């Protein structure tokens, strides 16, 4: 192995993902190779995807009446 390649353990530590998910990204082709430049681009794109994803269920009930059922209503 060349000295410039990062190990799966190192990539896992940098990304905060498990080694299993890093191996999966390599096998799917999301992470092209293990060079620091490619790993950096992969991390940057995954962070951008997470930040641009819509937040689920934010303000979903703002325009509706509250649901309160009381026995005496």
CB atoms closer than 10 angstroms to residue 36: 13
Band the pLDDT of 1: cuts 50, 70, 90: very low
**Which structure tokens are listed for 49?**
């995807």
Question: What pLDDT digit, counting tens, does each position of 9-60 carry?
Answer: 999 999 899 999 999 999 998 888 899 999 999 999 988 888 887 766 655 5
| pTM for the full predicted model | 0.64
Identify the CA nearest to 8 among candidates 42, 44, 50.
Answer: 42
Give pLDDT, residue 59: 57
Q: Return all residues near 21 (Cβ < 8 A) that are at least 6 apart.
A: 12
Q: What is the pLDDT of residue 66?
A: 65
């Amino acid at each position: 192995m060349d000295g410039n390649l990062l190990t799966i353990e190192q990539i896992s530590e940098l990304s905060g993902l498990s080694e299993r998910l890093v191996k999966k990204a390599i096998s799917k082709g999301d992470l092209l190779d293990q060079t620091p430049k490619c790993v950096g681009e992969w991390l940057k794109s995954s962070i951008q995807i997470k930040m641009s994803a819509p937040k689920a269920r934010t303000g979903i009930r703002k325009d509706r009446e509250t649901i309160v059922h009381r026995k005496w209503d």
